Amino acid sequence: KNHTSWSVIFLATFTYGAVIVPILHEFNPESMEHIIAHSESKCIFINENIWENLDKGNIKLPVFSLPSFNLLQSENKKTRNLTGKIDALFAKKYPAGFHPEDVVYADVDNDDVICLNYTSGTTGFSKGVMLTANNFAGNITYAHTLELLFPGERDLAFLPMAHAYGCAFDFLYALSTGVHVTLLDIIPSPQNLIKAFQEIKPNIIITVPLIFEKIYKKRILPIVDKPIMKTLLQIPGINNMIYSKIRKSLIDSLGGNFREVIIGGAALG
């Protein structure tokens, strides 16, 4: 699920030079176990509620919980011992404290695969898509040319970070722009979203059709579906007044501060 700890692991894996394998939390346990095995993953970071539903007998890898980073499982004695000494080892390596000059990134070619992104699929098990550094860089660079966001602005990230769309634009692009990103770590129901929109007041909204369909059914359809409203909407002049009020209500519901709404990659005018 979306959480700052997920973002930390994502960037740490990139900069370490390893390949990240994000898994959507909506996947069933069987699919998750298949992805872990098929991707030949070496380590797992997972929410404990999800870990409880997996078959531990099928997973022989070190497993760390999110967001606590506690070790949940490891058959390797060295891993277990080192995990309990991380703070001490870190302090020993950096006795004067950790500074910007201590940051060293792995030398990874932009054509190298850095992410295996598994889709839900329509038949059989999930299919893994190999994404290179250039795949992400291309999307981020293109978004910068569009000037979707500006430093200091606000973004509400409610699409799954494990999905390439949300990851590239709500997370990586926004972060590279110097935007304050708020991660929604609860179910993006219409009620939760509207509350978050009104609190955060994002400058841009990046979403998918299903989300807006839910908001429409929850906030607008009950109004326009009333018999008297259907009649009033047929009257010239009055209908424009009603549509204007509905539009204002919808804009206010979305925080009232956005310049643009992007749905499924296409901008709404």
**187, 203, 211, 221: which is closest to 264 by C-alpha?**
211
Each residue's pLDDT tens digit, 103-150: 999 999 999 999 999 976 555 667 789 999 999 999 999 999 999 999
pLDDT at 71: 94
Q: Tell me if 160 is assigned to some domain.
A: no
- Same structural domain for residues 203 and 255? yes
pLDDT at 163: 87
As for how many domains the chain has, the answer is 2
Place of tokens 């004067």: 96
Which of 92-106, 142-156, 207-221 comes out lowest in average pLDDT?
207-221
Q: Tell me if 175 is assigned to some domain.
A: no
Q: What is the CATH number of the domain that holds 62?
A: 3.40.50.12780
- Same structural domain for residues 55 and 107? yes
**204, 134, 135: which is closest to 174 by C-alpha?**
204
pTM for the predicted model, two decimal places: 0.84
- Same structural domain for residues 14 and 78? yes
pLDDT surpassing 70 at residue 241: yes
pLDDT at 159: 92
Q: Tell me if 172 is assigned to some domain.
A: no
pLDDT surpassing 60 at residue 265: no
Q: Tell me if 43 is assigned to some domain.
A: yes
- Same structural domain for residues 83 and 194? no
pLDDT surpassing 90 at residue 211: no
- Same structural domain for residues 131 and 207? no
Instruction: Report d(CA 140, CA 177) in Å as an integer.
Output: 9
- Same structural domain for residues 109 and 22? yes
- Same structural domain for residues 13 and 128? yes
Q: How confident is the model at residue 200 (pLDDT cuts 50, 70, 90)?
A: very high
- Same structural domain for residues 115 and 202? no
Q: Compute the Cα dihedral for 28, 157, 222, 236 and give only its sign.
A: negative
* Contact between 58 and 37 (Cβ < 8 Å): yes
Using a 10 angstrom Cβ sphere, with 0-12 exposed, 13-18 middle and 19 or more buried, the burial of residue 254 is buried
Q: Tell me if 89 is assigned to some domain.
A: yes
pLDDT surpassing 90 at residue 216: no
Q: Tell me if 161 is assigned to some domain.
A: no
- Same structural domain for residues 13 and 90? yes
pLDDT surpassing 70 at residue 5: yes
- Same structural domain for residues 106 and 43? yes
Residue 108: C-alpha distances to residues 16, 17, 262 (Å):
9, 6, 32
* Contact between 116 and 39 (Cβ < 8 Å): yes
In sequence order, what are the beta bridge partners of 140?
none
Q: Tell me if 159 is assigned to some domain.
A: no
Give residue 201's domain range. Answer: 186-267
> What is the mean predicted confidence (pLDDT) over 147-162?
94
| pLDDT above 70 as % of the chain | 96
Rg (CA), the chain: 22
- Same structural domain for residues 13 and 87? yes
Q: Compute the Cα dihedral for 66, 176, 115, 117 and give only its sign.
A: positive
- Same structural domain for residues 232 and 124? no
Q: Tell me if 151 is assigned to some domain.
A: no
